Structure 1
């Protein structure tokens, strides 16, 4: 196998260290296994029509030029997100004979493909022309097969994996001392983008209910401010309610892992979720997860590995948080360990390499 070209419309930079961090982690995992991986990605999350057009245009032009120049050295391309990223891989196949793998993360199916029929048709073409389609959750697998007509034998369910050298059990007492968190606090934590679709306002309302029974409870939210108008709504809601809520800017994964380990409950009240990798990372630290019964979370937290609640329902979310605070049975810990073991980096790397070898054999045969 020669070079692997990875395309992504999300990738971290020094200025935006958490933007698409899961893609960077997978790239580094592949490189640690000895693969020659080149990345062509957008590392600027800035919005606005003009900014988006400029950054996508230059990214497409440079990526196509890269494939043209290096086509003889590239074994395959791997696109993260079906559209628009997968369109680059489709061009690579049509014009340069490069087979490709595409990873579907959720938003590219739930939101992007639902925007209009043109994007839906392009998404269908991208997925059907791929040598392999990786989906991060079981529900996405059904969608890709049933809605987009992809042959089941080409679809692989596989998360991005959890780095258990970073996300692992840590002494709650020690890490709270390091983070200056009172030992007696009931710490409830959220990590994710500060947007409505992540259920942030639902969590604030749920926390108000929890606070009535647990006066020592605190809610901490770690995440990027993606929408200025939403943040104004969030700030007004928190100020008006006068509750113990703190928002923190994005931080390195090692610091996030400490906060998760320090928490009593990790909550992910998303309205939709392809997989919910951060929930898996929380499970790896041993912290109980409360999550919406949507998408990949429905599978990740089932069978008692976590606590499933109804999305957009503050009362249901609050009940889940209270259950997590009161139910400390060791049964759940064992189930979390088993779930995490299915998604370790070693497991993911082995499966990904198997897919790559199969796809690249087709390239060698064509040559």
Structure 2
């Protein structure tokens, strides 16, 4: 069987088990189907100029050496994030003739490409030279085709998928019993990096507004606090607002996260920008309502009654959305649409779509057992 190699600047490690876990999950999905996959990745989220420079130079060198050694056995490379990761695949194609696929996740288009004209031009070249460009949401599809002039025929919308064997409906009573939560309390859950762009300042303010009409409510914030400066700002903001019942938890493994999602009344995702919103899909699969901002790929995922969309950077709108979600009588979700979204993004569907893209892009037989 022809081998592929996955490049990513985000990948989990024992010390950082949730860092780029969606990439690891996709690699595992491919391997479970019998596809030979190697990974050359960065699994350390540490920042700082010297640390970042060292780890990226090491990663680029390892990647280049790997391609040079394995060029005859490689069918293709798959880069997660257009820049900087896609640059490795671009070099592999130009110097060694190895075709590549690149997955655009959002930040590489919305933020990284906006840093400078040089990065924007490199991003455009990376996307245009790829055999296929995978985008995790419809908004990114229009950006890649319109802004970066990639032919529509080479752009594929495909999320990272939801593992429905883990994220599945469990009774609130059962889930809460295992977590030691009161069955009567209203529970709002946030899952994601504790950074400003995730809308956490607005979430805290919205929660403070919600507490005035719904005092029996708690907010759990689950995620990495790698931006220590913002975390201090957030803590100060909470004290200034004098709002109680906000709890912080470190990142969780997927089994534990699924239990928290099933135990919660609502998942809040107040992001300023979001390529797709995988945690929203996971919450839907766990049978939990989602309140999210109307940005990026979220209106495509939550439209048609699959969730509640609110205005970005607007605590009043967010508070109203959360209040409506907690009022089960007034806000019923469209279960048919929800199940359709889950089916479209299940691991089974994603695997077949991904292998099909690989077969079209690769120079050898990909995705077939020998």
Aligned to 1:153: 153
- The match for 2:338 is 336
Q: Describe how 1:1-367 pairs up with structure 2 within 5 A.
A: 1-240=1-240, 241-328=242-329, 331-361=333-363
TM-score normalised by structure 1 residue count: 0.97
Given that residues 307 and 333 in structure 2 are in contact (C-alpha distance below 8 angstroms), is that contact kept between their aligned partners in structure 1?
no
1:234: how far off?
Answer: 1.0
Task: Give the secondary-structure state (helix, strand or coil) at the position aligned to 1:113.
Answer: helix
- Following superposition, the deviation at residue 362 of structure 1 comes to 7.4
Coordinate RMSD, CA, aligned: 1.2
| Local SS of the residue matching 1:133 | strand
The change in CA–CA distance for 1:331 and 1:236 in structure 2 (over 3 A counts) is closer
> Cα offset for 1:175?
1.1
Aligned residue pairs total 364
Moved over 6 A (4+): none
Is residue 2–residue 364 contact of structure 2 (8 Å, CA) maintained in 1? no
* Separation of aligned partners in 2, 1:148 and 1:363: 30
Distance verdict in 2 for CA 1:319–1:330, change over 3 Å: closer
Structure 2 Cα separation of the partners of residues 252 and 158 of structure 1: 23
Q: Which blocks of at least 5 consecutive residues in structure 1 are unaligned?
A: none
Q: SS state of the match for residue 114, structure 2?
A: coil
TM-score between both structures, scaled by the size of structure 2: 0.97
Q: 1:331 deviation in Å?
A: 4.6
Q: Quick one: distance in 2 between partners of 1:362 and 1:310?
A: 47
Quote the offset at 1:298 in angstroms.
1.2
Contact 2:106 2:275 in 1 (8 A): yes
